Structure 1
């Protein structure tokens, strides 16, 4: 696929504008909360500004990485080295932004946990919990759009950047990007293709936001700090996807990251909420089962909706890990098939040579 590009100085201007918007959005968001006391509440006005700034931050970060990878010399060398298509570049960008969001979430969770869980488990609060709920909610809605863009490029060769950069000369991204006019899949087609992750994002970005900001009923933030810390495994998940796009599935880094990902996912996603229920049982002086039974029905449903996809994803990760460490991957099978075919070809050539030699002797 060919992308219309401009001269180098135009690319630098675009990168500078995106970088300025990105850094400015983050700086303004920090400025909105830096002077607050730990137990202050976030007003609707302040929260709305945080959400708007969060949307600007994550969207511009995604575009910044894309432009740097698609329209700079370093990006071109990287694409050529790893034979990356435009869709793969967008997918890597999406995963890098996801890792950044996860880092923010973990920092928030650590701050809130250190403040709230060491005081009153049921009542202590920290403004960071609500502040990042406002800021981070924007990520989940941005990510739906971002994943749709990745889906479009991975299923078609639609030129996402052509209308954004109407420039003079053209440059081929890679040998795998052959321009074809294929109808862009609709957003609803993407929704049918990825229903689990879509429901997860809507639940976290919508209902999860409402619970933290409005529906908690005056309860503290210790529980929500563990929800934020659930993102600890996301950088490993993102790195796994990036390494796969870079064709590094056989590397030691890929395997080591896979083990770290499984450990972090099991600890921070699968075991986190049951552990929070245990803390609640201790704080309420109840047995574990009694504590779970005492939870409101809405809380039980929310925990189930949040926890069940984690079991599903952990199962998929475990199956993938077994294939990597104990079985053979699709690449290994392909190599084995090619080796077998090559061996058969060599054997047939040898038989032909021997047959021709016997014929010569007889003659």
Structure 2
């Protein structure tokens, strides 16, 4: 069993890893540039070969992993980062968590750019058959994110456990990666399922359908940057700020539009393209497609309900505080 001295030493080792942010920034930019250049010879509607796709997957794995380390470096090893940490009294675990959320937001922005490109190109042509190579290309690149994020969440969890152990608040447990996979089976399973399911549907199981529909699926990530910002604001103690409330309301609106209302909207587009009424169009969909829609839609409705509930509680607290402060004055 490790002593507190050993555990503190392990935390310091994590600090020592974070002093190479300039080379890391170069690697992050290089992998992104190489990913774009690897697609330069493609025509708009070309398909992504397995060899090209695997290269994009490797670029993605390096990009997201090194980006995460770069953000940790900038916060832990630069003077401005140190000031930020001291101002908001953050632990190393908090820094890891913030970096994880920033990478998540950046990945979501990439998804949105992919979705906008797909919709702009495909939805004004034959929406059932027209595709853009960026859809498959980012399916390969973005699939790496889900593997990275499992590892990143483990790093956040592991550091928090180490610090709790040093402070005498917890016993040493859950630090091993396999232990983490067992204790967080739901979120790990969700990442593996969404990553694998989305990748296979977009690259191989789409049944010849065009990217107008899959572009909207990519746009589901539009709410993620606001979710990430909400978590960061909470972490730095600004949960009662006006920015937190405004961000939460915007997050709620974007989530509803892109993750709930999007489904009936896309089905309406489909009904128009096949010249059927709305419900006949739903009936005409393949069984696998209808099951996929339910798998994607039902969790969104549940999460939206939780968000509405949380937002109403925040607004109630705001109103109560204002009334209290008025009564005091």
TM-score under structure 1 normalisation? 0.79
CA distance in 2: counterparts of 1:229 and 1:69, whole angstroms: 30
Correspondent of 1:287 among 271, 274, 277: 277
Q: Distance in 2 between matches of 1:67 and 1:111?
A: 33
Bigger mean CA deviation after superposition, 247-256 or 195-204: 195-204
Structure 1 residue corresponding to 2:80, chosen from 71, 74, 87: 74
Separation in 2 of the partners of 1:210 and 1:56? 21
1:207-356 equivalent positions in 2, closer than 5 A: 207-327=197-317
Contact 2:162–2:172 (8 Å) recurs in 1: yes
Deviation at 1:289, TM superposition (A): 1.9
Please say if 1:129 is aligned against 2:119.
no
Tell me the equivalent position of 2:40.
34
Per-residue deviation at 1:198? 3.1
Long gaps (5+) in structure 1: 160-176, 337-363
Match of 2:3 in 1: none
Q: Is the 8 A contact 1:29 1:50 kept in 2?
A: yes
d(CA) in 2 for partners of 1:34, 1:266? 36
Number of the residue aligned with 2:52: 46
- What's the TM-score once normalised by structure 2's chain length? 0.87
Distance 1:305 1:15, change over 3 A: same
Determine which of 4, 12, 19 is the counterpart of 2:12: 4
The 10-residue stretch of structure 1 (15-24 or 134-143) with the greater mean CA deviation from structure 2: 15-24
What does residue range 174-189 of structure 1 map to in structure 2 within 5 Å?
Answer: 178=167, 182-187=172-177
For 1:82 and 1:214, how far apart are their aligned partners in 2?
A: 47
* In structure 2, C-alpha distance between the alignment counterparts of 1:246 and 1:185, rounded to whole Å: 25
The aligned runs of 1:196-211 (5 Å cut-off) are: 196-211=186-201
Counterpart Cα distance in 2 of 1:302 and 1:7: 44
Judging changes above 3 Å, is the alpha-carbon distance between structure 1 residues 238 and 110 closer, same or farther for their aligned structure 2 residues? same
Instruction: Provide Cα deviations, 1:210-231, integer angstroms capped at 9, x if missing partner.
Output: 1111111222111100001111
The C-alpha deviation readout for 1:307-358, integer Å capped at 9, x for no partner, is 22212221221111111101479xx8xxx9xxxxxxxxxxxxxxxxxxxxxx
Shift of 1:59: 0.4
Structure 1 Cα separation of the partners of residues 171 and 28 of structure 2? 33
Instruction: From the superposition, tell whether residues 246 and 103 of structure 1 become closer, same or farther in structure 2 (CA, over 3 Å).
Output: same
Question: Which of the numbers 74, 87, 91 marks the counterpart of 1:85?
Answer: 91
Please give the secondary structure, in 1, of the residue aligned with 2:80: helix
Spell out, residue by residue over 1:282-306, the C-alpha distance to the aligned partner (whole angstroms, 9 max, x if none). Answer: 1112222222222222112211111
The root-mean-square deviation of aligned C-alpha atoms, in Å, is 2.6
Pairwise CA distance, 1:195 = 5.0
> Secondary structure of 1:215's match?
coil
Residues 11 and 72, structure 1, Cα contact 8 Å, conserved in 2: no
**Distance of 1:272 and 1:89 partners within structure 2:** 34
Distance 1:118 1:53 in 2: 31
| Contact 2:161 2:173 survives alignment (8 Å) | no
Which structure has the higher relative contact order (CA within 8 Å, separation 6+)?
1
Offset from partner CA, 1:108-165 (integer Å, 9 cap, x none): 1101100000100101110111111111111111111111222223344289xxxxxx
Distance 1:271 1:324 in 2: 24
Contact 2:58 2:144 in 1 (8 A): yes
> 1:354 — aligned with what?
none
User: Which structure has the larger Rg?
Assistant: 1
Q: How many residues align?
A: 312
Partners of 2:46 and 2:152 in 1: CA distance: 33
